[in-house]
Every structure is written in C-alpha cells, then in structure tokens.
C-alpha cells in the first residue's frame, strides 16, 4: 500500500527564515502535487511536478521532485505571515487518463512576526 509521509507535521517559524518541508512516498510515481489549505477553506493547487528533477518556483515557494529517491521538497524562502497554512503533498497513482491522488498528512505552517 502506498505511504505518503510528510515532515514535519507542524512547523512554526519566524518571518524572514528559510525552511524545507519533505514529502516521501513508498512506490513509483512521476507525478506529484503540492496544495495549500487555509483554515476552514478549500485546497488550492500550488505546483505540479511531472518528472524526475522537476523544479518549480512561485514567489517564496519552490518545489522539487526526485523520483529515484521518491522525495519531493517544498522550500520556503524568507517566510512571511501570509504563508501560514497547511501544505499537502499528493502522489498520483493513476493511469494516464485519470489521476488517483494519495495525500500526505499535511504540514501545518505558522509564520510568526
């Protein structure tokens, strides 16, 4: 059975600092997604990583994928309060036509002034 493990599960950081969230998964997949969820809200897509070595950046967030190590990272640069949210990685186990996403437990990020 596929396991998707995120760590840390809780992260409290100061504004201006850098940190990395890790997402390990237990079986072969070359499609990985990162989502953000604000409290009481829906999930918002951040990144789609489709191949080994893929790197995507948006603002202070950068995501990467190493399919051989079965590892994705979400790096936060110079954190600001607005980044406070829960971040989920999801591994796609589906076929070409459909996707079958299995989510990690989420990392609850709090950025303090």
Residue ranges binding another protein (CB under 8 A): 31, 33, 37, 41-45, 48, 50, 86, 88, 92, 94, 96-103, 105-106, 108
Closer Cβ to another protein, 18 or 25, answer by number: 25
Residue 48 tokens, joined: 């789609």
Q: Tell me the closest approach of the beta carbon of residue 52 to another protein, in angstroms.
A: 14
Pairwise CA distance, residues 28 & 85, whole Å: 28
Name the residue nearer to another protein (CB basis): 71 or 101: 101
Pairing label, strands 71-76, 19-25: antiparallel
How far apart CA 48 and CA 109 sit, in angstroms, is 20
User: For another protein, which is the closer residue by CB, 15 or 38?
Assistant: 38
């Amino acid at each position: 059975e596929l396991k998707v493990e995120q760590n840390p599960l809780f992260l409290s950081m100061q504004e201006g600092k850098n940190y990395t969230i890790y997402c390990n998964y237990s079986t072969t997949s070359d499609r990985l997604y990162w989502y953000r969820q604000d409290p009481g809200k829906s999930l918002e897509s951040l990144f789609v990583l489709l191949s080994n070595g893929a790197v995507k950046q948006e603002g202070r967030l950068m995501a990467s994928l190493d399919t051989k190590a079965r590892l994705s990272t979400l790096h936060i640069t110079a954190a600001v309060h607005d980044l406070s949210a829960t971040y989920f990685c999801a591994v796609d186990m589906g076929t070409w036509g459909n996707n079958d996403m299995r989510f990690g437990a989420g990392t609850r990020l709090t950025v303090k002034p």
